Structure formats: C-alpha cells, structure tokens
Structure 1
Amino acid sequence: MQILHQKIKLNRPTVAEINLKALDFNIKKLKEIAKSSKFFPVIKANAYGHGIKEISKRLENKVNGFCVATSEEAINLRSTTKKSILDLEGPYDSSDLIELIKNKIEFVIHSERQLDFLFKLKKFPSAQTIWIKFDIGMNRLGFSSDEIIQVAEEISKKTNNLVLMSHFSHYQGSSNQLVNFKKVEKKLTSLKINFKSSLCNSGGMINLPDSQKNIVRPGLCIFGIKSNLKKYNDDLKPVMTLKSKFISIKDISKGEKVGYEGIWTAPKKSKIGILPIGFGDGYPTNLSNQGKVKIKNKLAPIIGKISMDMMAIDLSSFRDISYKDEVIIWGESHGVDKVAKYADNTEYSLLTGLSNRVKKIYKL
C-alpha cells in the first residue's frame, strides 16, 4: 500500500502573528534616529522568536548588515542574505575561524584564546573585517583598557578593516562607559590606526545619541519593544501578537479546583475557559496564578497551574464569551513587556522562548 504525504491544513488556534508592515515602520523610524550610522540589526535567537529567515529576507534591502550570536547562526544566515553578517561570539576554535572566513562572515575577537587562533592561521585575507571587543564594564567578553590598544595594533597588521566595539552593561546605556570608550578611540586615533567604531544597542542608540558611532546594533526595539527606551516610546509598533482561542468553556461550582495540584480554588460559581497553550509552547509556568490575557479589550486572569499544553482563564467577569473570541496572550494591545512583569520574566525570555509548536503567520 502506497502512503502519500499530503499537506494538511491544521487549525490549532494558538499562533504568533508577525506584522511585517510594523517591522518596516520600526526600521524606517530607527534608521532616521541613527542618521548616518550603518544599520546592523541584531537578529539572534531566531530573530528574538520572530523567525530569522523571514525577518532577514524582509530587511535585506533596508539594512547594511545583520548581527547574530553564534557561528552556526551566522553560517546558516549566509544562505539567506548577501549582506554583511557579524558573529558576536566569534570563533570557538581554529576550524570555526576557517569556516567563518570561507563564508565571508565578520567576527568578534574578544579573548587571548581567539587571538591565538587568528595568528596561527597562515593565510588570512586582508579584506576580512575583524571586530575587537573592549570590555567597558560587563565583565563577560572583551579586552581590558590595558589590553585593547595592543590588541588593536596587532590585529591592524592582519586586516584593513578593523572595528572597535563594546556593549553597554545596562540596556538603557551608560554615559560613564561611553566616556571610557571614547578614551580608547582617542588613543587608537593618536596611533594612526585605521578603525571604525560600534557601541550601542537599542537603548544606547536612542537614549545616548552620542553612542551611535559608525555602526549601530539595535536589537529588540526593531520588533517594537520599548521598555528600555526613554523616548520615542509611542512611535514603535509591536511586530508579534501571540493569540489563541478557547477549546473549552465551562461553569464550575464554588470550592472546585482547577488544574494540576489544585492551586486555584473557585471562590464562587465561576466560568472558566481553557486555552491550548502551555509551557510546551514556551509560556512559562511562573505565570501560573499570576499572568493575564486580554479578551475584548479587557484583562482576564490566568488561574491554576500552567501545564505543558493548556492553561485556564477565569471568565467570570465576562457576560458573553464564545469559542470565536480572540484571546491576546501578548501583542499590540497587551505588551509582552507588561506580561513579563506579571512574574519574574523578561520580554527577551518570553519572545525567544516560543517553541516551534507555535505556528507563525506573516502578515503584510
């Protein structure tokens, strides 16, 4: 018997709707803010959960390059874009370095170990762009103020394209760290080393315009997340709306419990609805009895323990509710940054935590 594989349309109502027009709007607005700086948006972690392939294709003719976190992300992205790609963690070993060069990937050098990979390489293309990382306070990756000048001098002998970079230790930017970065720039200039500079993330780009330098690296703000921005808060538009519909609506009596371990008890006769989304989709369990969703422009509480596939909503305050009603988990009318604050989460962890089980729908 021959089995034919057919494409079947499935109708699970939990979807992440990606508004590409909102993305276009945000990019246009942010490029106006960045002025003459080259624009390298960060699209690591599957474009913060929005889909790296689709997002990079949409931005191909709107940006100068892309930043990702890992070598694997960078090399996979090369099949999608002809733009510059920056690997923010840089090579993990010598063979990794060779693959990055082969695929024309720009990379960061942030440690003595990586310098060793670089200088052991017998043939190195002088046109290859190398970014060197100055640690201005994060204490994760990068060279100290005592080391960075010597590193720049050594690497400038290998390449004609050197970029001095760093990263603010605070999402909103830091004027003190900007001062330290400028000191290194001044020293490199006095040594007649040819280089470009890149410092700011989303918050730094907007909150500290002087940090924009030659290249800006905005991240979450391109998707309309504004929690780290001191201004322009009303201009950016959320790109993702996570939504669902009920698969069960029922009445329960006072004193009945809901969900695993019965951590919520009905204080009165109540109406509850069950949504087909849970921690298997990336919705965290610490929002159990804490989170809220939005229905008909009104907030409704999550009740009971969030399970792998489902969560319960208290609908007692709604007069009319049906299976057709759309439930906003987060999105334009119920920001993911607000959802994160219901419990100890961040908008970063919520967006990047979405699993592949959540279907993405791209809308123009």
Structure 2
Amino acid sequence: MTSFCSATVNTTALKHNLQVVRAAAPGSRVMAVIKANAYGHGIVPVARALASADALAVARLAEARQLRKAGIDSRVVLLEGVNLRAELEQAAQLSLDLVVHNDEQLRMLEDFEIGGAFSVWLKIDTGMNRLGITGANLGEFLHRLRNCGSVRGVPRLMSHLANADDREDAKTQSQMREFAAITDTLGCERTLANSGGLFGWRGSHYDWVRPGIALYGVTPFGCGTGADLGLRPAMRLNARIIALREVGKGESVGYGGNWCAPVPTRIAVAGIGYGDGYPRHLGNNAPVALRGRNAPLLGRVSMDMITLGLADHPDAAIGDEVTLWGEELPVEQVARLAGTIPYELLCGVTQRVDVRYVT
C-alpha cells in the first residue's frame, strides 16, 4: 500500500467528454473551464488532456500563471478579469484574453500603453446579478473597447446562465431572450452556454460554449448522472481498509455514538475522512463500493477514517480498496446524500490525497 487514499483521474475520459460536448454543440467552439484546479482534477494535467479545446478558461491570474509555467500555450481566458494595474501587466506578459465586466477594468485598459495587448470578452449581466455590465451600457462599452488601443480585434460578448441546471426554470429562457435582444445586431462573437445550457438549452449555444462540470463527466442537472448524457466520470476516489473489528451488540461506533450495533457486527475501517475531502455530513448507510457491491457507512465520518458494515462482505480484508465515488458509484449520488453538489465534492479533494493519472 502506497497511500491510505487516492484519486485516479482518467485523461481518456476527459477527452471523451470533450468529444461529447462538441457533438452536443457542433456549430460552436469550446472554451473548456478548468478553474479551481480543474474542479479538483489537477489544472495542468487536465489542460494537457484538453489541449484540443479552442480555449481554456480560468478564474484567477495565479491559475493562468500555473498553466504558462507548465508550458501550456493554449488560448487562456481570465473569467474574472483583473483589478490592479500590476495584474494587467502580468496578464499581458502571459498573453491572456481578458473578461471585462465593469468600468474600472475598462479604464485600466484605456490607460494601458501596450497596443493590441488583449483580446477582450465583454460580460453582460442578464440576470445572475454578480458580474457584468447592464444592457443599457452595452453600446457605450463596445464603443470604448473598439477605440481602445490596448484591445485587439472585435470584442466578444458573454453572459452567464443562473438556473440552467433546472430545465423547467423559466429564468433561463428569460436570460436567453434578453441576451439575444441586446446582441443579435452587433456582429460580435458570443458565448452564453455553461454545461447546463449546453445540454438543456440549444438556443444558448452561439459561437462558443463554456462547459465546466460536464468535462469531468458529471451532469449539470439536479437529477440523474453524467452517464445519462453520454459522459464518463473522470475521477475515482478510493481508500484502503486499514483495520477490521468485531463490534458487540449495543456497542457504538465513532464520535458521538450515532450508530449502535443491533447485533454483533463486523466492520471495516477505511483510511479516508473529511481531512481528505470526503463529506462529513454523510449519514449512516450511505453507500461505499467494495468488491463490486455497496457496503454501508456506519457512524460519523471523522477526519481520517470512516467505518463500514461488512454483513455482505464476509471476505473483506485489510488492504482491500473501497471506492467513495467513481464509475461504479456516481459522485452525483454521493453529493445528494450529503446534501451538497458534485462540484463541491470534486473541488474539495485535499492535497494529502495521492492523485494519479491514467489513460
């Protein structure tokens, strides 16, 4: 055993998911979103696996620096833009595309001395109410960007869907109508669709799509799994059994004693816990895969360990591998049982988990 727990990332699955995305939006280019350490999968290996994407997107300047330091020369879009002059200078050195979403960012570009330094994506708020200019200010911003010396080419336009994970929600249609109404006649390339828009709202595809969670094999919707969309999970989270015990009738297991054995019970202790990113809020009987069948979680998830019931696994042994999520146990299912979303589980895998890459 080389480690108590590990995450295995399948780069072939990543490439497969990119192909599924292209098939879903054949008329669009793909901006692959790899922010937050590629949703916990490792930003540099994922960028290399998705090198055929038309662009990569990150949220923070540090993420872009990491890519360039690793020799990634793909087009990189900085989704939150920059807020300081020093950041603008670094973005120019790193040859990044910039998202502009407020007047302060535009004024920095207007004051920047290097001609044609940036391709720009102008973000319009159509209902998310986080970042973006209003439709009423679009004409002014476009005029200023087209006359800004540090901007090269025609600005592209973007917005973000707030509720695309719910295919019955009327807000998405409202955002799509607003985006179309204010951009249809402007002659600019556009992007609106996230993963939810990509698979749920064909009218949102435009010139570019911006998949995130779908690239990692996970559904963007509140029900089902990525497999329903033809996707393959890219991450499998595993741990090893490190101890076996016999628990007497009436004895409790773990912190707080919230599970007591109704009969003499054989249990396994696996070396993973919330210190590794496994969700503490999972309750008794949440499934963990062992030898092709599920074993129930018994007792609380602790920092370093979980305990499992072995009633259906009489041959379980120390060193056996258990799967916390992966192809045989979808992360979507685990997230719902934990009262959270798959994004949080994937992004929450901690640094002490040994990450391995396979093809």
Whether TM exceeds 0.5 here: the answer is yes
Matches within 5 A, 1:14-93: 14-60=5-51, 62-79=52-69, 80-93=71-84
* Structure 1 residue 12 corresponds to structure 2 residue 36: no
* Structure 1 residue 315 corresponds to structure 2 residue 310: yes
Q: Distance in 2 between matches of 1:337 and 1:29?
A: 19
What one-letter code is carried by the residue in structure 2 that aligns with 1:43? I
Q: Deviations over 1:142-193 (max 9, x none)?
A: 111212222122112123231100110013372221111111112534xxxx
Q: Deviations over 1:1-56 (max 9, x none)?
A: xxxxxxxxx61141111112212211122112221322110001111111111111
Matches within 5 A, 1:136-215: 136-158=126-148, 159=151, 160-172=153-165, 174-189=172-187, 195-215=188-208
Matches within 5 A, 1:239-250: 239-250=234-245
Q: Deviations over 1:94-121 (max 9, x none)?
A: 2111111121111111112222322232
- Please state how far the C-alpha of 1:339 moved relative to its aligned partner: 0.3
When the two chains are superposed, the root-mean-square deviation of aligned CA atoms in Å is 1.9
The alpha-carbon distance between structure 1 residues 266 and 244, as it changes in their structure 2 partners (threshold 3 A), is: same
Matches within 5 A, 1:72-151: 72-79=62-69, 80-121=71-112, 123-126=113-116, 128-151=118-141
What one-letter code is carried by the residue in structure 1 that aligns with 2:178? N
The alpha-carbon distance between structure 1 residues 76 and 161, as it changes in their structure 2 partners (threshold 3 A), is: farther
- Please state how far the C-alpha of 1:75 moved relative to its aligned partner: 2.0
Q: Deviations over 1:178-221 (max 9, x none)?
A: 111111112534xxxxx211111111112222211111111111
* Structure 1 residue 269 corresponds to structure 2 residue 264: yes
What one-letter code is carried by the residue in structure 2 that aligns with 1:47? A
* Contact 1:271/1:315 (8 A) holds in 2: yes
* Contact 2:284/2:299 (8 A) holds in 1: yes
* Structure 1 residue 328 corresponds to structure 2 residue 323: yes
What one-letter code is carried by the residue in structure 1 that aligns with 2:123? K
Which one of 305, 319, 340 corresponds to residue 335 of structure 2?
A: 340
Name the residue aligned to 1:5: none
**Which runs of 5 or more residues in structure 1 are unaligned?**
1-9, 190-194
Task: Provide the identity percentage.
Answer: 33
The alpha-carbon distance between structure 1 residues 257 and 349, as it changes in their structure 2 partners (threshold 3 A), is: same
Name the residue aligned to 1:192: none
Helix, strand or coil for the counterpart of 1:82? coil
- Please state how far the C-alpha of 1:325 moved relative to its aligned partner: 3.2
Runs of 4 or more off by more than 3 Å in structure 1? Answer: 229-232
Q: Distance in 2 between matches of 1:110 and 1:299?
A: 47
The alpha-carbon distance between structure 1 residues 255 and 232, as it changes in their structure 2 partners (threshold 3 A), is: closer
Helix, strand or coil for the counterpart of 1:55? helix
**Which runs of 5 or more residues in structure 2 are unaligned?**
none
* Contact 2:164/2:200 (8 A) holds in 1: no
TM-score, normalising length from structure 1? 0.90
TM-score, normalising length from structure 2? 0.91
Q: Distance in 2 between matches of 1:340 and 1:26?
A: 21
Helix, strand or coil for the counterpart of 1:247? strand
Q: Distance in 2 between matches of 1:325 and 1:102?
A: 49
Which one of 276, 282, 304 corresponds to residue 287 of structure 1?
A: 282
What one-letter code is carried by the residue in structure 2 that aligns with 1:314? G
Provide the aligned length of Structure 1 versus Structure 2: 348
Q: Distance in 1 between matches of 2:40 and 2:121?
A: 26
